Each structure stands twice: as structure tokens, then as C-alpha cells.
Structure 1
Amino acid sequence: MRVFQETQRFTQWWLQLINLTIVGLLFYGFYKWFYLGESMGNITADDSDNQIIFTLIIVLCLPLIYMFKLKTTIDEVGIHYQFTPINLSKKTIRWSELKNCYVRTYNPLKEFGGWGYRNSFGKSSAINVKGNIGIQLILMDGKKLLIGTQKENDAKIIIERYFKTNNE
């Protein structure tokens, strides 16, 4: 029995750079505000409570990106995926529910507007974390789901093994 397993997280260098820049700007602003006694932009002393609340929201939201994780498993039953924390349990698409299944290259920005849990308000959606390679699923009812992968060749091999066998 052969099984494909993959776990992906948002670890792109440019995302790390954005997060570090935001944290750096926050530290610089607090340095100016507390140590030098200067205001941040047009914020007056009366707005300092709002400034603290806004800063806390940003600081608490930055680590959220690291909670997201896409787990994909392909076996003789079908394709299983979980995009935590959105999907609290694994979702399974059985081979018998698929009209077609293949690995393809796609444009995340043009086709789905970026990465993450994406829905194009039609019959097509995507769950992707990084890159531009995905497992395209076309269900019997015509709906399409693309699951991103970083293991293109492994995914192709296991899909050919199980999808072709179950649909002959």
C-alpha cells in the first residue's frame, strides 16, 4: 500500500519579511512614543488608548498566520485534506466521487486571487499555501477543487496509481 502525505505551512520569505517589518515599525513607534515622548503621526495624547488597542490587535494577529496548516493525504480510499484552523476535521473525497484528477500548474493570483482558502464564487475553489502546483479535482457534479502541493512528482505517481485503477 502506498500513501502520499504532505504538510504545508505559510513559511515564504516575503511573508516573514512583511511580519518583521510590521513588528519593527511597531517597536520604532513605541520607542518614539514612550522614550522620546513624540506622538505617532496625527495621534494626540487623547487617542493613546486607541493606539494601544490597535497595536495589540496587530501584535495578536501576526502569529495567526503560523497557525494555518494544509495537510494532504492520498491513499486507496481517496484524497483527504485538512486546512487548520478552518477545517476542524479531515475532509475526504473518494475516488468514486471524482470525474477527473490530475496535477497541474496554475496562477494563484489570476485564478484564485492569492493563497489560502479561496473560493471563486462559482464551482471552483482552492486551498493553497505556497507555490503554483496543485492537485486539480473535478467532482461528478462539476465542482472543482484545487489542493496545492509542493510534491508534484509524488502526487502524480500516487494519483495515477489509484485514480486510474478506480476509474477503469
Structure 2
Amino acid sequence: MSYEVPFREEQRFRQWPLWALLGVVSLVSVVGMGPLGVVVAGVVCGFVWSLRLVTEVRDDGLYVRFAPLHRSFRRVPWTAVGSVEATTYRPLREYGGWGIRWRPDAIAYNVSGSRGVLLTRPGDRDLLVGSQRPDELATAIRETTSDATR
């Protein structure tokens, strides 16, 4: 079965400061642990290289997957969304960094940058989804939710 996805974005951890830090940690591991350090550094670097955040807007909700940590997409049905706003945020100060981040009142999925879409969810935690194209993502959500309510 084929269906149209109004918005899809795949992001990866490709920031040079992260890779510089991993390089230094890998070097220390190799020097400190010898051959085992090479294996550990390789596994850690391979894992970080494989991480990706996939975001899709579909007819029945927003789908977010942080692969390979999530085997399947996490779905946020449109009925659970109160409002949608493209926003600029401070990842370190507001969420403690990048990745899958939890606060008492919000969950964030992000891999780079400081832009994203904030979805308020009455009766549940707000959801921030980092995006390199936040205005496009917010527009796709608004258009899809307005189509779904017709």
C-alpha cells in the first residue's frame, strides 16, 4: 500500500565538534586500552554515525523515530495536538543537549541546531521536534490537521 507523505526529514549527528570530541576520546581509549580501545572506539563511533532522527507528517499523525534506538515510529495522533509552532530554542539550556531529552513538562527529539517545531499536547507533555526545515514542518502539520478535521 502506498501513500503520500506531505513531509519527511531525516537528520543525523554530523557536527564537527561532536566528531572532534569523539576523536579525542577514541585516541585516549586506544592509548589507554590498546587493541580493546580500538574496538571500543570503533563501536562507539559506529553507533553515533548510525543514529538518525526521522520525522514524517502523515494523514493520521506525526511520526518520529530515533533509529536505531526506536525500532518503529512513535506516533502523535492529530487529536492529541493542541497547537503547533516553529520555534528557536536553546538545546543545552532548555533540554540539556541533543538526542532524546526529557523534562517534566516536555520531551525533545533533536540532533543538531536550535530550530524545531513545538507541539503543545493538552493533558500530556509538550513535544519539541528539532528540524532543519521547521517552517516547512509546521506548515505541513497545520495543513494535514486542517484536512483531517474536514
TM over 0.5: yes
Give the conservation status (yes or no) of the 8 Å contact 1:2–1:158. Answer: no
Residues 58 and 24 of structure 1: is their aligned pair in 2 closer, same or farther, counting only changes over 3 Å? Answer: closer
1:143 to 95, 119, 125: 125
SS in 1 for 2:17: helix
Residue 54 (structure 2) aligned to one of 58, 61, 71: 71
Cα distance, 1:22 vs. partner? Answer: 3.6
Q: Which residue of 2 aligns with 1:19?
A: 22
**Equivalences for residues 151-166 of structure 1 within 5 A:** 151-166=133-148
CA drift at 1:26: 5.4
Identity %: 25
1:3 is aligned to 6
- Provide structure 2 residue ranges, at least 5 long, that are not aligned to the other structure: none
Query: What is the CA distance between 1:132 and its match in structure 2?
Result: 0.7
Is the CA contact (8 Å cut-off) linking 1:70 and 1:82 kept in structure 2?
Answer: yes
The answer to whether the 8 A contact 1:135-1:148 is kept is yes
1:97 is matched with which residue?
80
**Structure 2 counterpart of 1:129, which letter?**
V
Gaps in structure 1 of 5+ consecutive residues: 30-39, 41-50
C-alpha distance after superposition, 1:106-134 (max 9, x if no partner): 100011100001112x1311110001111
Structure 2 residue identity aligned to 1:96:
T
Q: Distance in 2 between matches of 1:15 and 1:144?
A: 27
- CA-based RMSD: 2.3
Q: How many residues end up aligned between the 2 structures?
A: 146
Look up the SS of the partner of 1:109 in the other structure.
Answer: helix
State TM-score, norm by structure 2: 0.83
- Given candidates 67, 71, 95, the residue that maps to 1:112 is 95
> Deviation per CA, 1:64-123, whole angstroms, max 9, x where unpaired?
111211000013222111111221111111111111222111100011100001112x13
The aligned amino acid for 1:6 is E
1:82 aligned partner: 65
Q: Distance in 1 between matches of 2:5 and 2:50?
A: 29
